[in-house]
């Protein structure tokens, strides 16, 4: 008779998107205005104490998911993004020889359930559903072969982008990095095969983007290695990996969902700013 561990391994190996026997989903949440990390298991959140990236301990306290407010799943010191990383998004543009990087700001990050606030002078605000890398260990000059050792896990992100400003401005400062332009969550998942996850974006329930991460031009290890040549990545830093296919403008009232297989659904509502 097979042991439980062996059975778990057999189940894991039979599911192509799962690398290890265990997928763990970490969340950050607030309860009675106190913030904490936790492990999400179905509808239960098991509270953690200590640094998420340095052996946190379970406190023994549990909460019903319905009783807490989920926050962005980490607090990055740097928010980096790769552009033009799916052939389906390139249009007439040639594929680049190396990852095209830009920056967003930590203040652009919001969690699931938060509003995406349209600045009053925004005229062409688009969603971009993406797989997002979460760094787990300080990384500088790491090779592609060792890069996964520095990745804590992945989450879902919406690289909200104002296309008119992308075209008109000197840099993508306000087009990509305005407040609330970086929804992230709902959880950080560990133990997934990052090279084959379905990324899907829905607006008001209608599927707008749907593609697997096997189509990334530059995959997760390549991106982490490349970025670490130039900047020191710290635990909790995030890297948006690029969006597939095409995007369209959002309007106030739209509910935008980005779902990454194994991670969950990131859901945000667009509101008009003042
Ligand atoms: Mg993007």
The answer to the question of residue 37 being in a domain is no
Residue 131 Cα to ligand 1 middle (Å): 10
Distance separating the N- and C-terminal Cα atoms of the chain:
65
Range of the domain at 254: 72-272
Lowest mean pLDDT among 4-13, 113-122, 227-236, 254-263: 4-13
Residue 72 Cα to ligand 1 middle (Å): 18
DSSP string, 215-259: GBSS-HHHHHHHHHTTS-B-TT-EEE----S---B--TT-EEEEE
SS3 call for 73 = coil
The answer to the question of residue 25 being in a domain is no
Residue 89 sits in a domain whose CATH number is 3.90.850.10
Q: How confident is the model at residue 4 (pLDDT cuts 50, 70, 90)?
A: very low
Of residues 168 and 14, the one with the higher pLDDT is: 168
Residue 244 Cα to ligand 1 middle (Å): 9
The answer to the question of residue 26 being in a domain is no
Residue 56 Cα to ligand 1 middle (Å): 31
Helix (H) or strand (E) holding 10: helix 4-14
Q: What is the pLDDT of residues 78-124, one digit of tens each?
A: 999 999 999 999 999 999 999 999 999 999 999 999 999 999 999 99
Residue 232 Cα to ligand 1 middle (Å): 21
**Geometric angle at alpha carbon 140, from 19 and 161, rounded to 5°:** 75
Residue 102 Cα to ligand 1 middle (Å): 9
| pLDDT given at position 38 | 98
Closest C-alpha to 73, from 237, 233, 209: 237
Q: How confident is the model at residue 11 (pLDDT cuts 50, 70, 90)?
A: very low
Residue 217 Cα to ligand 1 middle (Å): 13
Residue 49 Cα to ligand 1 middle (Å): 33
Residue 211 Cα to ligand 1 middle (Å): 14
The answer to the question of residue 174 being in a domain is yes
> Which residues on adjacent β-strands are paired with residue 48?
37, 58
Residue 178 Cα to ligand 1 middle (Å): 14
Residue 83 Cα to ligand 1 middle (Å): 5
Count Cβ neighbours within 10 Å for each residue of 59-93 and write b for 16 or more, e otherwise: eeeebebeebebbbbbebebbbbbbbbbeebeeee
Name the pTM for this structure.
0.93
Residue 21 Cα to ligand 1 middle (Å): 31
Determine the Cα–Cα distance for residues 49 and 41; give it in Å rounded to an integer: 17
Quote the mean pLDDT of the chain.
94
Between the alpha carbon of residue 249 and those of residues 91, 122, 162, 256, the distances in Å are: 17, 11, 9, 11
Query: What total number of domains does the chain contain?
Result: 1
The answer to the question of residue 193 being in a domain is yes
Residue 191 Cα to ligand 1 middle (Å): 24
The answer to the question of residue 253 being in a domain is yes
Q: How confident is the model at residue 9 (pLDDT cuts 50, 70, 90)?
A: very low
CA 132 to chain centre: 3
- What average pLDDT score do residues 176-195 get? 98
Residue 53 Cα to ligand 1 middle (Å): 26
DSSP 212: E
Determine the Cα–Cα distance for residues 67 and 43; give it in Å rounded to an integer: 10
The answer to the question of residue 16 being in a domain is no
Phi, psi of 120 (to 5 degrees): -55, -30
| pLDDT given at position 19 | 52
| pLDDT given at position 21 | 61
**Geometric angle at alpha carbon 156, from 180 and 126, rounded to 5°:** 50
Helix (H) or strand (E) holding 274: none
Residue 238 Cα to ligand 1 middle (Å): 13
Residue 127 Cα to ligand 1 middle (Å): 9
Residue 167 Cα to ligand 1 middle (Å): 15
Residue 32 Cα to ligand 1 middle (Å): 34
The answer to the question of residue 256 being in a domain is yes
């Amino acid at each position: 008779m097979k042991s439980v561990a062996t059975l778990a391994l057999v189940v894991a190996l039979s599911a192509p998107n799962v690398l290890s026997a265990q997928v763990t989903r970490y969340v950050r949440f607030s309860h009675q205005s106190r913030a904490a990390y936790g492990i999400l298991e179905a509808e239960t959140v098991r509270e953690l104490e200590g640094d998420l990236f340095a052996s946190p301990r379970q406190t023994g306290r549990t909460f019903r998911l319905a009783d807490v407010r989920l926050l962005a799943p980490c607090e990055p010191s740097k928010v980096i993004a790769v552009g033009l990383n799916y052939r389906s998004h390139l249009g007439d543009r040639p594929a680049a020889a190396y990852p095209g990087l830009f920056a967003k700001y930590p203040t652009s990050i919001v969690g699931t359930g938060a509003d995406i606030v349209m600045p009053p002078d925004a005229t062409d605000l688009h969603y971009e559903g993406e797989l997002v890398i979460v760094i787990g260990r300080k990384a500088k000059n790491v090779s592609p072969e060792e890069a996964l050792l520095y990745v804590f896990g992945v989450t879902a992100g919406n690289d909200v982008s104002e296309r008119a400003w992308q075209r008109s401005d000197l840099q993508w400062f306000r087009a990509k990095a305005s407040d609330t332009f970086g929804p992230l969550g709902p959880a950080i998942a560990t133990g997934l095969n990052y090279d084959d996850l379905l990324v899907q974006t829905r607006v008001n329930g209608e599927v707008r983007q749907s593609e697997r991460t096997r189509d990334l031009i530059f995959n997760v290890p390549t991106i982490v290695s490349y970025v670490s040549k130039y900047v020191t990545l710290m635990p909790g830093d995030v890297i948006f990996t690029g969006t597939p296919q095409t995007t369209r403008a959002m309007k106030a009232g739209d509910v935008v969902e980005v779902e990454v297989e194994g991670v969950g659904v990131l859901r945000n509502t667009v509101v008009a700013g003042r």
